[in-house]
Amino acid sequence: METKPLSVGPINTGSLLNSSEGILVTCFTGLAGTAISGDYDPSVQWAAMIGLAIAVSAYAISAGLRKSGGKK
């Protein structure tokens, strides 16, 4: 039996929901998007945006170090 990635019309999720990176970014973006689009104080919205940027950057750096073996 062959498995196919989830596809909704012109949108193909690919590995978005099949990898830890995709799930992490999707969850963080959903949480930040809720705070940004909601009726929250601007300081809360800025904190959500900065938190998302820090979380994604930290994950990208750690994944890069893991793939390179942590060696310079």
Residues 43 and 35: their CA atoms lie apart, in Å, by 10
Gap between the terminal Cα atoms of the chain: 43
Ordered per-residue pLDDT tens for the chain, 72 residues: 565 655 555 555 565 566 777 777 788 888 888 888 989 999 999 999 999 889 888 888 887 888 787 565
pTM above 0.85, yes or no: no
Domain of residue 59: give its range. Answer: 14-66
Q: Is 29 part of a structural domain of the chain?
A: yes
Residues 4 and 52: their CA atoms lie apart, in Å, by 30
How many folded domains does the chain comprise?
Answer: 1
Residue 67 token pair: 């793939």
Q: Is 33 part of a structural domain of the chain?
A: yes
Q: Is 6 part of a structural domain of the chain?
A: no
Residue 38 token pair: 């909601």
Q: Is 58 part of a structural domain of the chain?
A: yes
Q: Is 71 part of a structural domain of the chain?
A: no
Q: Is 43 part of a structural domain of the chain?
A: yes
Residues 47 and 38: their CA atoms lie apart, in Å, by 13
Q: Is 7 part of a structural domain of the chain?
A: no
CB atoms within 10 A of CB 32: 20
